[in-house]
Amino acid sequence: MITGVMLKGIGFTLSLFVVTAVTSIPLGFALTYLSNSKFRAVRAVTRAYVFVMRGTPLMLQLFFFYFGLPFIPFIGKFLVMDRFPAACLTFALNYAAYFCEIFRGGLLSVDKGQYEAARVLGLTGTQTTFRIVIPQMIKVVMPSVANEAITLVKDTALASVIGISDLLHYTRALVNSRADITPFFIAAVFYLLFTFGLTKLFDALEKKYKF
Amino acid sequence: MKRLLAVLFSAAMLCALFTGCSGTGGKFVVLEENFGSEDYAVGMRKGDNTFTLAFQTALDDIIADGTAADISKKWFGEDKVLRDKPFPREITDTGDSSLQYIKDKGKLILGLDVGFDPMGFYDDKGNIVGFDIDLAKEVANRLGVELVLQPISWDAKEMELSGKTIDVIWNGMSVTDKRVEEMNISKPYLSNRMIIIVRDGSDIKTKADLAGKVVACQSGSSALNAIEAEPDTVATFKELVSSYSDNPTAFLDLKSGRVDALVVDEVVGLNLIAKNSK
């Protein structure tokens, strides 16, 4: 019965997770390439972006994108977003910064000899990137990406500060009105199940990239 | 072996969590004395005077024709609705566009921190119900607009209001000087005493008996304001614990004996006791 009410919140939790994962990973990858750009200005801007996104609390960023943007003079009125899009945007931009750093670390771990060997074999730049470098990078970053994904599952709970009725919102509302903390237990089980599924998924992926 | 250990540890942790959740029962009593009373009212955007006045007219009608009394009987078993209270801050008709804004939109968005039983909370089907909600439905009806319930985070209520993401805050909100300053406040519609709850059999019978005891209340709550308004009484306490983020957690500590008394809004406190005895 309580579980039924809480299930209503899972939809938001799941969709926020999926949207963020699907958008922030490619975005993070793009940022990695920008941070390795030949142009110093591009590198500097990327570094600054990562610094700001990693250096401020996610909750503050949620407040900023949802409540703050509409108050910017002149352009503010075009930046009014609904709760869910605002949350997705914030999460995607925030997680992209973390993924950018993870992928950068992955690229650094690819030995210089690999590039040299690729050149000797006559591979083009694109071929080197997609056939030699990226597969090796993916193998290295997989555990960190899994880590971030699990953190993301739990971070989705933060979206309730801008009034998104996620799993934790229903949990807290039920705890408050029923004066009984069983919903906390049920929520913990939901999050654990979700995390368990993710762990299995990443285990499988890691096996695939074992070479 | 490793797998077995992992399973065993997880099972042990889940068991611990579950025991922690169940807790013990027990009976509670409400002292005759209390820490004064506070009024509940509806919050609206500051400067939305035309809307505030139209809203108040609708609410006054509902109180005058007995609809509000019926709603009160449904939730509290008695008619507790306040009548003929003045506005906390005088609202004059400035002829602004706020009423037109709501009418054009065709919606009245009510922001609430769901979980305040019996004012606004989830029923067994996950619908938001409560005393405030029934009253709000009636008001929206008479204003000729649709009522939209928007769960919000209580800490962000001022931002929600000024950002126009909600139109009213209606969730058993106490009238405080700060709020009167920051928003338009309706006439108070409900009065709420700050009651003192102790465990049954406790040696605390009066307010004076709180001397040397540990007293709890929710952080930043109106109960805390009410207690702090009596510094002489506070000085006698062994300790005033006011770091609880919500009343149920404070109540759990009263249950477990970590604190000796809990000061809380009457509607919340009576509900906590009722839920506990089930």
Interface membership of B275 toward A (CB under 8 Å): yes
- Residue spans of chain A under pLDDT 50: none
Do B31 and B44 have their domain in common?
Answer: no
Of B160, B40, B159, nearest to B148 (Cα)?
Answer: B160
Do B118 and B243 have their domain in common?
Answer: no
Q: Give A-chain residues touching B275 at CB under 8 angstroms.
A: 178-180
CA angle B47, B155, B252 (to 5 degrees): 140
CA angle B99, B103, B109 (to 5 degrees): 90
Whether B16 is in a domain gets the answer no
What is the torsion angle, in degrees rounded to the nearest 10, for the CA atoms of residue B194, residue B199, residue B203 and residue B209? Answer: -20
Under a CB-based contact definition with an 8 Å cutoff, are residues A104 and A32 in contact?
Answer: yes
Of B159, B188, B71, nearest to B120 (Cα)?
Answer: B71
Please judge whether B21 and A178 are an interchain contact, meaning their C-beta atoms are less than 8 angstroms apart. Answer: no
Say how many CB pairs under 8 Å bridge A and B.
Answer: 88
What is the torsion angle, in degrees rounded to the nearest 10, for the CA atoms of residue A67, residue B173, residue A180 and residue B80? Answer: -150
Window 51-70 of A: residues touching B by CB (8 A cutoff) are: 63, 66-67, 70
Whether B266 is in a domain gets the answer yes
Nearest CA of chain A to the CA of B236: how many Å? 29
- Spatial CB neighbours of B106, under 8 Å, sequence gap ≥ 6: B145, B146
For chain A, the farthest-separated pair of C-alpha atoms sits apart, in whole angstroms, at 70
At B146, is the secondary structure helix, strand, or coil? strand
Nearest CA of chain B to the CA of A117: how many Å? 41
Do B224 and B237 have their domain in common?
Answer: yes
Whether B235 is in a domain gets the answer yes
Per the structure, the complete domain to which residue B229 belongs is given by: 24-35+193-277
Q: Which of A176, A177, A179 sits opposite B276 (nearest CB)?
A: A179
Q: What is the pTM of this model?
A: 0.78
Report domain extents, chain A.
2-208
Residue A19 structure tokens: 């949207």
Give me the phi and psi of A116, to 5 degrees please: -65, -45
HSE, CB side, 13 Å, CA atoms: give it for residue A108: 9
- Spatial CB neighbours of A108, under 8 Å, sequence gap ≥ 6: none
Please judge whether A170 and B153 are an interchain contact, meaning their C-beta atoms are less than 8 angstroms apart. Answer: no
Whether B144 is in a domain gets the answer yes
Do B253 and B137 have their domain in common?
Answer: no
**Burial of A9 per CB tally in 10 Å (0-12, 13-18, 19+):** buried
Q: Which residue has the tokens 């989830």?
A: B122
Under a CB-based contact definition with an 8 Å cutoff, are residues A99 and A142 in contact?
Answer: no
Look at residue B43 in the predicted model and tell me its pLDDT.
96
Please judge whether A178 and B251 are an interchain contact, meaning their C-beta atoms are less than 8 angstroms apart. Answer: no
Do B182 and B130 have their domain in common?
Answer: yes
Domain end point (choices B146, B174, B191): B191
Do B187 and B198 have their domain in common?
Answer: no
Domain end point (choices B150, B175, B191): B191
Do B131 and B78 have their domain in common?
Answer: yes
Alpha-helical regions (H) of chain B: 2-22, 49-64, 67-76, 98-105, 131-143, 157-162, 177-182, 222-228, 231-236, 247-256, 266-277
Quote the distance between the C-alpha of residue B23 and its chain's center. 24
Look at residue A195 in the predicted model and tell me its pLDDT.
95
Q: In CATH, what number is assigned to the domain containing residue B165?
A: 3.40.190.10
Residue A101 structure tokens: 């750093």
Look at residue B15 in the predicted model and tell me its pLDDT.
67
Interface membership of A194 toward B (CB under 8 Å): no
A2-208 folds as MetI-like fold (1.10.3720)
Whether B1 is in a domain gets the answer no
Do B150 and B271 have their domain in common?
Answer: no
In this prediction the ipTM stands at 0.78
Dihedral sign, CA of A105, A110, A111, A116? negative
Under a CB-based contact definition with an 8 Å cutoff, are residues A79 and A129 in contact?
Answer: no
Look at residue A181 in the predicted model and tell me its pLDDT.
80
Which of B114, B121, B155, B265 is the best substitution to test chain A (most A C-beta atoms within 10 A)? B114
- Spatial CB neighbours of A133, under 8 Å, sequence gap ≥ 6: A107, A110, A114, A115
Whether B84 is in a domain gets the answer yes
- pLDDT tens across the length of chain B (278 residues): 767 777 777 777 766 655 554 444 578 999 988 998 889 999 999 999 999 999 999 999 999 999 999 999 888 888 889 998 999 999 999 989 999 999 999 999 999 999 888 899 999 888 999 999 999 999 999 999 999 999 998 888 999 999 899 999 999 898 988 899 999 999 999 988 899 999 998 999 999 999 999 999 998 788 888 899 899 999 999 999 988 888 888 898 898 899 999 999 888 888 788 777 76
Look at residue B16 in the predicted model and tell me its pLDDT.
65
Whether B99 is in a domain gets the answer yes
Interface membership of A209 toward B (CB under 8 Å): no
Please judge whether A1 and B124 are an interchain contact, meaning their C-beta atoms are less than 8 angstroms apart. Answer: yes
Do B247 and B119 have their domain in common?
Answer: no
Question: What domain count does chain B have?
Answer: 2
DSSP secondary structure of B196-255: EEEETT-S--SGGGGTTSEEEEETT-HHHHHHHT-HHHHHHSSEEEEEESSHHHHHHHHH
Quote the distance between the C-alpha of residue A120 and its chain's center. 37
Domain end point (choices B131, B164, B191): B191
Q: Which of B124, B150, B248 sits opposite A176 (nearest CB)?
A: B248
Quote the distance between the C-alpha of residue A116 and its chain's center. 33
The 8-class DSSP code of residue A78 comes to G
- Spatial CB neighbours of B209, under 8 Å, sequence gap ≥ 6: B203
Pairing of strands B261-265, B190-199: antiparallel
**CB atoms < 10 A from the CB of B96, how many?**
14
Taking the C-alpha atoms of residue B149 and residue B122, their distance in angstroms, rounded to an integer, is 12
**CB atoms < 10 A from the CB of B106, how many?**
10
Do B129 and B240 have their domain in common?
Answer: no
Taking the C-alpha atoms of residue B163 and residue B198, their distance in angstroms, rounded to an integer, is 42
